[in-house]
Amino acid sequence: MLNVITGVISVSIPLITVDYLVIAGGGGGGLTYGAGGGAGGMRCTVTGTGGGGSLEAALSLAPNTNFTVTVGAGGAGAGSSGARGTNGVNSQFSTITSTGGGGGGSGDASFRTGSDGGSGGGGGGQNTASAGGAASPANQGFAGGSSHGAGGFGAAGGGGGASAVGVAGTAGVAGAGGDGRATSITGSSVTYGGGGGGNAAGINAAGGAGGGGAGGNPGISGTVNTGGGGGGSGENSGAGGSGVVILRYVDTKTITIGAGLTGTESAASGGYKRATITAGTGNVSWA
C-alpha cells in the first residue's frame, strides 16, 4: 500500500503486482569457424527463469506512475573474416535489467574466445581450441561451449542458452546452441533464449530451442523477440534475435504503453491481462 497524506487525511492507494519476463537481445555469431552467439539474459517471475537461480520476485508498483521499458536489439553477426560477433543489447523493465548475450568467437587468434554476456558466446575454432564466454552476471543464462581446434578439424562451440551450456565442438563437428527455458507468463508455455549453433569445417550445428540460429554458410539469425543467439559461419554469420518484455497483472487494471514503444495489451484471461512489448524505449503506467 502507498500512503498519501492530504491535509490531515491519509489515503491508502493499493499497489499493483506485476509479473514480468525480461529477455535481452541475443549475441551475434562469429565468422570463419565462427561460434554461436549467446542468448540474451532471461529474468522471469513465472514458471522458469534463466541460469540456475530461483524465480525472480514480482514487483509491487504504484498506479499512475511511469516505469521505464527498453527492449534490447540483437547483436550483429561478425562483419569481417575472423571477427567475433557483437553482444546483444540489454533489456529493462523498471529496476530489472537483463544483459545482452555474448558474441560468438571466431577462428582468428585475436577473437577466438566467446564474449561474456547474459549467456556466453561460444569459442571459435580453427587450429587452437578456445573457451566459450561466461554467463555474467549469474542467473540469467549459461556459458558458451568451447571449440575444438586440433589436427585441422576446427569446430566452433555453441552459444549458451537460458537453460543449458552451449555444446562444445569436437573434431570436425560444431557444437549446438544451449537450449532456452520455457515460461507460461502468456498463459501458454513458450521457450525463449536459445543459443546459436557453431560452424565447422565438417558438420555445422543447430541452434538451441527457444530461437537460437543454426550455424552454417550462411549462419541463421536468432528469432526476433526470443533473445536467441545468432549462428556462426564461415561466410556470413547470423545476427542475434531481439529481446522482449512481457508484463502480467490483474485484469482490473489497464496499461498505457507510451511513445517510443511497440506493444499490445491482451484481453483478460484467467484473472490477468498481459502486455507484450516488442521494440523500443519508453514508459509504461497502469490505471
Q: pLDDT tens, 31-71?
A: 999 999 999 999 999 999 999 999 999 999 999 999 999 99
How does residue 153 score in pLDDT terms, banded at 50, 70 and 90? Answer: confident
Report yes or no: 260 and 247 within 8 Å, Cβ to Cβ. Answer: no
Q: What is the mean pLDDT of residues 243-267?
A: 98
For residue 126, what pLDDT is reported? 78
Q: Rounded mean pLDDT of the chain?
A: 94
Between the two ends of the chain, the Cα-to-Cα distance in Å is 15
For residue 82, what pLDDT is reported? 83
Q: What is the mean pLDDT of residues 75-92?
A: 94
Which residue is associated with the grid cell 495489451? 265
Kindly state whether residue 240 falls inside one of the protein's structural domains.
yes
For residue 2, what pLDDT is reported? 47
Q: What is the mean pLDDT of residues 224-243?
A: 97
Task: Lowest mean pLDDT of 16-25, 121-130, 241-250, name the range.
Answer: 121-130
For residue 1, what pLDDT is reported? 46
Report yes or no: 142 and 164 within 8 Å, Cβ to Cβ. Answer: yes
pLDDT higher than 80, residue 5: no
- Please state, for a pLDDT cut of 90, what percent of the chain lies above it: 87
Q: How many distinct helices (H) and strands (E) make up the chain? A: 0, 14
Report yes or no: 183 and 21 within 8 Å, Cβ to Cβ. Answer: yes
Kindly state whether residue 282 falls inside one of the protein's structural domains.
yes
Kindly state whether residue 1 falls inside one of the protein's structural domains.
no
Residue-number span of the structural domain to which 173 is assigned = 19-287
User: Which residues touch 31 (CB under 8 Å, ≥6 apart)?
Assistant: 77, 78, 79, 80, 81, 82, 83, 85, 106, 232, 233, 234, 235, 236, 237
Kindly state whether residue 11 falls inside one of the protein's structural domains.
no
- Please state, for a pLDDT cut of 70, what percent of the chain lies above it: 95
How does residue 8 score in pLDDT terms, banded at 50, 70 and 90? Answer: low
Kindly state whether residue 184 falls inside one of the protein's structural domains.
yes
Kindly state whether residue 236 falls inside one of the protein's structural domains.
yes
For residue 11, what pLDDT is reported? 64
Q: What is the mean pLDDT of residues 219-234?
A: 98
Residue 151 φ then ψ, to 5°: 70, 20
Task: Lowest mean pLDDT of 95-99, 147-151, 162-166, name the range.
Answer: 147-151
Kindly state whether residue 14 falls inside one of the protein's structural domains.
no
Kindly state whether residue 2 falls inside one of the protein's structural domains.
no
The total number of structural domains that make up the chain: 1
How does residue 81 score in pLDDT terms, banded at 50, 70 and 90? Answer: confident
Report yes or no: 105 and 111 within 8 Å, Cβ to Cβ. Answer: yes
Highest mean pLDDT (candidates 7-11, 170-174, 200-204, 259-263): 259-263
For residue 198, what pLDDT is reported? 98
pLDDT higher than 50, residue 249: yes
For residue 201, what pLDDT is reported? 86
